[in-house]
Amino acid sequence: GIGYTEVGKHRDRTLEDLFVDASRRAIENAGVDSLDGLYVGNMLSVFSGNQGHLAPYLATKLGFPGVHAVSIESACASGGVALAQGVMAIKSGLLDVVLVGGVEKMSGMKTVDVTWGLTFAEDLEHVKRTGVSFAGLNAMLARLYMKTHGLRHEDIARFSVQCHENGLTADHAQLKKRITVEDALSSPVVADPLRLFDACPMSDGAAAVLLQADFDGTDGSVETVASSVATQTMSLHERKDMLCFKASQRAVERAQAQAGITLEEIDFVEVHDAFNVTGLLSLESMGFYSPGKSTYAVEKGETSLDGTLPVNTFGGLKARGHPVGATGLYQACEAVLQLRGEAGSNQIRRSASYGMVQNVGGVDSTSAVHILRGPGT
């Protein structure tokens, strides 16, 4: 089962409100009436709302105060890592009916607090010594990427434009408006060379999936055929190859081995575009395109809904939004919609048998990759 709220600024809703809403939808969608496990992904509730210990808190709010319940924090990968924990509980035989939900409420925070909170994804020693911000790290990455491959800002901006195209028809997306490359290039500078439209918005939202052990294969269920969480050297500047998202590369290799399939068999992919450049670097490090070549694929339309490898089919982090701890679960819900043929105007044109979702924490310090298989595949 899947369930999610609209992504946006829900100023009048609380974190638990959002979580219970998404969770109840997932439970109803699955047609179950009880759970034996709950995994919660969230990054900043302790900082933004002074609320920790989300596992029993949300289990209680949801009406299941006795279950096996765990909270997960892995920065922006909290949702994907929570999903991996839920999958592991099912596959190991520990639990039979597991709800995995991610939630984030950022609209109550001042921008300066969000900026500070996001740096918690990094080694604080380097933040304190230099004043670098999370956007700043991604900006340095973008500058190096463009310089290394002779790319211009237009080339990476096209990724944001494409995400917005898909967001136009995505009911739950935060940003449903078209943008042009010119809009992107003239938007305010965040951290040079990255501008506002290179970056995802600040978002509130919750998304959940209901996992069950008794997989039938004939009842229209989507199966998780691979689940992998990998890491790499925490600090960007200490990496041998700063442009390699090695955590994502490792996670994809391990996931492929688990599922026994090749990348060519992946019909669509949801990548982590906290910034357009991270979406592009993800595609390359994961092995879909050679270094420097993903921008050409976007330009040629290969990554659009009717292309050979649809990417971010509901707008990705840029247009659907990025409620930090929930994003990994939004990606999973969107993949399920594609595989069930329930994506409406956002349905990819080629048939969907296998989908891959990639959720990253920090600048690819953590990467949680899952491969989902559609019913009847």
Catalytic residues: 76, 322
Q: Which of 11, 33, 93, 129 binds other proteins (CB under 8 A)?
A: 129
Cα(9)–Cα(45) distance, rounded to whole angstroms?
Answer: 16
237 binds other proteins, rule: CB under 8 A? yes
How many helices (H) and strands (E) would you count in the chain? 14, 11
- Quote the least distance from Cβ 136 to other proteins, whole Å: 5
Is the Cβ of residue 193 or residue 291 nearer to other proteins in the bound state?
A: 193
- Does the protein bind other proteins through residue 242 (CB under 8 A)? yes
**How far, in Å, CA of 307 to CA of 269, rounded?**
12
Backbone angles phi, psi at 36, to 5 degrees: -120, 5
135 binds other proteins per the rule CB under 8 A: yes
> Per rule CB under 8 A, is residue 127 in the interface with other proteins?
yes
* Of residues 46 and 213, the one with the C-beta less far from other proteins: 46
Query: Can residue 11 be called a binding residue for other proteins (CB under 8 A)?
Result: no
CA–CA distance, 78 with 359 (Å, rounded to integer): 8
Selected from 6, 14, 109, 116, the binder of other proteins by CB under 8 A is 116
Near other proteins by CB under 8 A: residue from 92, 111, 218, 290 = 111
Q: Does 233 bind other proteins (CB under 8 A)?
A: no
| 22, 132, 274, 333: residue in contact with other proteins (rule CB under 8 A) | 132
Cis before 201? omega within 30? no
Write phi, then psi, for 358 (nearest 5 degrees). -130, 120
If one asks whether residue 62 binds other proteins (CB under 8 A), the answer comes out as no
The reply to whether 236 sits near other proteins by the rule CB under 8 A is: yes
Nearer to other proteins, 78 or 119 (CB): 119
Q: Residue 112, interface with other proteins (CB under 8 A)?
A: yes
- Say whether residue 153 binds other proteins (CB under 8 A): no
The H-assigned helical ranges of the chain are 15-30, 45-49, 54-62, 78-91, 111-118, 124-130, 134-149, 153-167, 181-186, 246-259, 276-285, 294-300, 316-319, 327-340
Confirm or reject binding of residue 101 to other proteins (CB under 8 A).
no
Q: Binding string, 155-194, against other proteins, x = CB under 8 A?
A: ----------------------------------xxxxxx
Instruction: Check residue 143 for interaction with other proteins (CB under 8 A).
Output: yes
What are the backbone dihedrals phi and psi of residue 206, each rounded to the nearest 5 degrees, phi first? -145, 140
SS3 assignment, position 38: strand
Q: Which stretch binds other proteins (CB under 8 A): 122-130, 295-303, 338-346, 348-356?
A: 122-130
Q: If we measure between CA atoms, which residue out of 119, 128, 139 comes closest to residue 190?
A: 139
**Which residues, in sequence order, are bridge partners of residue 98?**
37, 211
To the nearest whole angstrom, how small is the minimum distance from the Cβ of residue 142 to other proteins?
A: 8
Other C-beta atoms closer than 10 Å to the C-beta of 101 total 32
Cα torsion 105, 25, 30, 32 to 10°: value is: 100
Applying CB under 8 A, the residues found at the interface with other proteins are 111-113, 115-116, 119, 126-133, 135-136, 139-141, 143-144, 147, 189-194, 235-238, 242
